[in-house]
Structure 1
Amino acid sequence: MTEASREVGVVLRRRPVDNPWIDHLWSPAMILDEVPATAPWTVLSTQADATIYYAGPASIELFSSDTANYRDNLADGEPRIWVALRRQDGGSELELTKVTVDPTEGEAMFESGCDVIGTVPMPPEIAAWIAAFVDEFHVERVFHKRKRDRAPGDRRGIPDEGKRRT
């Protein structure tokens, strides 16, 4: 199996909310196609309705066995990147756990128990890198329907002997 990886920067948005149980929500804001020389969790901007943070670097990994999923993401019209974060030790600090361009893996992250999961538009430079990987390594796999093995004595689909057909 062929693999490729690329380091990217992750930018998050923290918005205040009017809620009795939580005072803010985190969401991915964007992916930077290159990792900046900025320390993780640096505040990039503060506005009345949100604070923007550079969360840190992450790696996007590609595998030749998943090229059909990447191709589907690129063909969707607006390719997406999934970002997942988890609270450290039940506290308020977040840890960047996964960044993926595989829609199947991204949807599975929603069921994984991560605290913050969201998608952001894919930058054109990353889309071009993924498209080149798909072009080089994608192999169309033909679907073969398996025939079910019959168990001894299994007569489903076989007419009963001795019964009259009318």
Structure 2
Amino acid sequence: MVRNPHQYQSMPLGIVLRRSPGVTAWAKWSWRVADVLPGAAPASWKTIREAGDVRDYQVATVPLEMHGAECEAYRTGLADAVPSIYVVLRKNDDAEHPFDVLLATASPYEGQDYADNGEDVVEKVPMPAGLIAWVNDFTERFYEEETFVKRRRDKKRVDIVEDGIGDARISQISDVYRAPRRKEPAA
């Protein structure tokens, strides 16, 4: 099925990371995606909230891209008990800002693909109500039910010639799957 290439929308989405004290001697800080901000202005590690040792940063603003061909995945995500955005992070060598934001997606399938590669951190963040409505509106406008087409067998006769079966060096009435036997010399 060919889909319309104009079935596309994008929205800037701010990604908020929360830094809190680590709970082990091996990790000074614990990082997690705390929130997403629909329609956010560009930012790079901007402190937006601070309470004691806990600090929230707007790490980046990335486009949340919606494609008409992915509507089935968006509908699956919206059907979850808690519809979510999947934020894909990649660890870097900077101790002060240890993550880069690769993307944010409303597709659980795309989130799973990034989780499977083992290099990236994928965090599931609940969608705000306004974002749920925006994603739902997009899927309602562009979702196309795919009709089931039963596969039919071709009419080729397979009982006429048996190419590649058995050993051509052995002449016998029927074909068997066995190694040639050595003939015993006549005494």
TM-score (norm 1): 0.79
Look up the match of 1:100.
Answer: 105
SS state at 2:113 partner:
helix
Look up the match of 1:161.
Answer: none
* Equivalent of 1:133 in 121, 133, 138: 138
Look up the match of 1:15.
Answer: 20
1:67 lines up with 2:61 in the alignment: no
Q: CA 1:144–1:19 in 2, change beyond 3 Å: closer, same or farther?
A: farther
Structure 1 stretches of 5 or more lacking a match?
Answer: 156-166
Aligned equivalents of 1:91, 1:147: Cα separation in 2: 57
Look up the match of 1:162.
Answer: none
Number of aligned positions between the proteins:
153
Q: Where do 1:72-87 residues align within 5 Å?
A: 72-87=76-91
Look up the match of 1:5.
Answer: 10
Q: Higher relative contact order by CA 8 Å / sep ≥ 6: 1 or 2?
A: 1
Look up the match of 2:34.
Answer: 29
Amino acid at match of 1:63: H
CA deviation after TM superposition for structure 1 residue 49, in Å: 5.4
CA deviation after TM superposition for structure 1 residue 41, in Å: 0.4
SS state at 1:116 partner:
strand
In 2, are the aligned partners of 1:83 and 1:98 still within 8 Å (CA)?
Answer: yes
Structure 2 stretches of 5 or more lacking a match?
Answer: 163-187
Q: Where do 1:120-159 residues align within 5 Å?
A: 120-147=125-152, 152=158
* Equivalent of 1:41 in 38, 41, 45: 45
**Per-residue displacement from partner, 1:96-137 (whole Å, max 9, x unpaired)?**
101000011112221223443211111122111111111111
Q: CA RMSD in A?
A: 2.5
TM-score (norm 2): 0.71
Q: CA 1:49–1:147 in 2, change beyond 3 Å: closer, same or farther?
A: farther
Query: Which protein has the larger Cα radius of gyration, Structure 1 or Structure 2?
Result: 2
In 1, are the aligned partners of 2:114 and 2:120 still within 8 Å (CA)?
Answer: no
CA deviation after TM superposition for structure 1 residue 81, in Å: 0.3
